[in-house]
Structure 1
Amino acid sequence: MCGRFAITLPNDAMAQLFSARPANTLPQVPNFNVCPTNQVHVVRTAETGRRLDPFRWGFLPHWYKTETAGPLLINARAETLAEKPAFREACRERRCLIVATGFYEWTKTEQGNRLPWYIQRKDGAPIAFAGVWQDWGADEARQGTCAIVTTPANRQLSAIHHRMPLILEPDDWPLWLGEVGKGAARLMAPGAEGVLEYYRVDPAVNSNQASGPDLIEPIPA
């Protein structure tokens, strides 16, 4: 799964990278500890072209009467994305990219202590998570919500977790966004080996209140 990530790319650089028109209400960056229910940066295709919008991280199906009416859906499994009632329609019609610089996963010691790891691209490029989105609410309370699509971990990341976010390369963005026809299902596979790297970081990030660049500084494993 993916339960926490970082985004450090400036908003104007994000808009340029994804050739997207930015909203005026994008979340502030950098944020080294993006948590569920936070606003995140979402790239989607609209009638006027790509947009970069702020969405709530936590997909809200249309039948939820309140934001807490059911489970917090921050991840969507690729294997069942097209079948689950919550995601079935979004899988066909509302796919998006969720922008990150890196993300966190945790292992446990024999004593049960949680040890955080930070994962990023080896080439230093931003990460584009595959996502799905859903508008939820009515009138002034209407908001965009999203979830990150996950797959079984590849061999490299399986050392620290059995799942990983679906990370898309630039050549695959148009297909995932539905800009070049059908066939996005073929993208829903574990990422290529060797694209990512990871290292231990300070357990301070175990708190969702922690902030600052020190959270992604490496410490001895």
Structure 2
Amino acid sequence: MCGRMAVTVPIDAMAHVFDAAPSNDLPQTPDYNVCPTTQVAVVSGGADRARRLEPMRWGLIPHWYTKPNDGPLLINARAETVLEKPAFKSAVHDRRVLVVASGFYEWTKDSEGGRDPWYITREDGAPLAFAGLWQAWTDPKTGETWHTVAILTTAANDAMQEIHHRMPVIVEQKDCGLWLGEAGKGAARLMRAAPEDALRWHRVDRAVNSNRASGPELIEPFDPES
């Protein structure tokens, strides 16, 4: 799965990398502990519209929810079943975006059940582009409309299996147009695990286990023996 991430790329650099015009209300960077229900930067686009870098709430809210917590918190969507789930099956055809991050966190357990966090990035140091699905949700009480997003996940590749059995679907730069719907059909073939050598990871301090933690030290390598 993907339940926490870090974004250290400046907004202008993010816009340049993905050739997207930035909106004025993007979440500030750097943020070393991006949690569900907060705003994340996504790249939207399509065959008939220019790319935009815009904010969306992480945690897709289906249109039939009467309030944000009317059901499960949908921060992830499984690639294997996304076409079957009512919350996602229309979005996967018509509402695909890229969720931009520098890295993400996963956890393993030690012999006593303690949660050890790992920070995972691209091997080449480039920003990550997670395959995302979005949904507009309108609050029936206030009339306010939110744009909300979930990150697609798939079975982890063999290398990643030592950390977690799931991983986010990562879209390569050359495939961004296909995922966004700019380059015709065939986006389904992108819903797969990244190559074995695409990612690297290191242990980080358990401080990140708290969703209130912040600061660059959260992504620094940690040696439990030191």
TM-score bracket, shorter-length normalisation: over 0.9
* Normalised TM-score (structure 2): 0.95
The sequence identity of aligned pairs, in percent, is 60
How many angstroms apart in 2 are the aligned matches of 1:25 and 1:57?
A: 15
Instruction: For 1:115, give the aligned amino acid.
Output: D
Q: Give the stretch that moved more between structures: 45-54 or 202-211.
A: 45-54
CA shift digits 1:122-155 (9 cap, x unpaired): 1111000000001111575111100000000001
Aligned partner of residue 185 in structure 1, secondary structure = helix
* Partner of residue 88, structure 1: 89
Alignment deviations for residues 141-179 of structure 1 (CA, whole Å, 9 cap, x no partner): 111100000000001110010000001101110110011
Measured after TM superposition, the shift of residue 113 of structure 1 is 0.3
**Is structure 2 residue 98 aligned with structure 1 residue 97?**
yes
Q: CA RMSD in A?
A: 1.1
Q: Deviations over 1:46-70 (max 9, x none)?
A: 5440011100000001001100000
| Structure 1 residues 56 and 180: alpha-carbon distance in aligned structure 2, compared to 1, 3 A threshold | same
Q: Secondary structure at the match of 2:90?
A: helix
Provide the C-alpha distance between the structure 2 equivalents of 1:30 and 1:18, rounded to a whole number of angstroms.
Answer: 18
Secondary structure at the counterpart of residue 129 of structure 1: strand
Q: Deviations over 1:102-126 (max 9, x none)?
A: 0000001121100000000111110
> Runs of 5+ in structure 2 lacking a partner?
none
Tell me the number of residue pairs that the alignment of Structure 1 and Structure 2 aligns. Answer: 221
How much does 1:180 deviate? 1.1
Identify the residue that residue 221 of structure 2 maps to in structure 1. Answer: 218
Letter of the aligned partner of 1:184 in structure 2? A
CA deviations on 1:17-58 (whole Å, 9 max, x unpaired) are: 111111100000000000000100010115440011100000
Counterpart Cα distance in 2 of 1:205 and 1:126 = 21
SS in 2 for 1:215: helix
Pick from 184, 196, 199 the counterpart of residue 196 of structure 1.
199
In structure 1, the gaps of 5 or more residues are none
Distance in 2 separating the partners of 1:171 and 1:2: 23
Deviation at 1:189, TM superposition (A): 1.1
Give the match for residue 40 of structure 2.
40
Alpha-carbon distance in structure 1 between the residues aligned to 2:115 and 2:49: 45
Match of 1:25 in 2: 25
2:60 is the alignment partner of 1:63:
no
TM-score normalised by structure 1 residue count: 0.98
Where does residue 170 of structure 1 map in the other structure?
173
Secondary structure at 1:128 match in 2: strand
Question: What CA distance in whole angstroms lies between the structure 2 residues aligned with 1:17 and 1:99?
Answer: 10
Q: Distance in 2 between matches of 1:107 and 1:32?
A: 19
Q: Following superposition of structure 1 onto structure 2, how do residues 107-186 of structure 1 map, counting pairs within 5 Å? A: 107-137=108-138, 141-186=144-189
Deviation at 1:72, TM superposition (A): 0.2
Of 118-127 and 44-53, more deviation after overlay is shown by 44-53
Cα deviations by residue, 1:72-106 (Å, 9 ceiling, x for unpaired): 00000000111110000000000000000000000
CA distance in structure 1 between the partners assigned to 2:49 and 2:95 by the alignment: 15
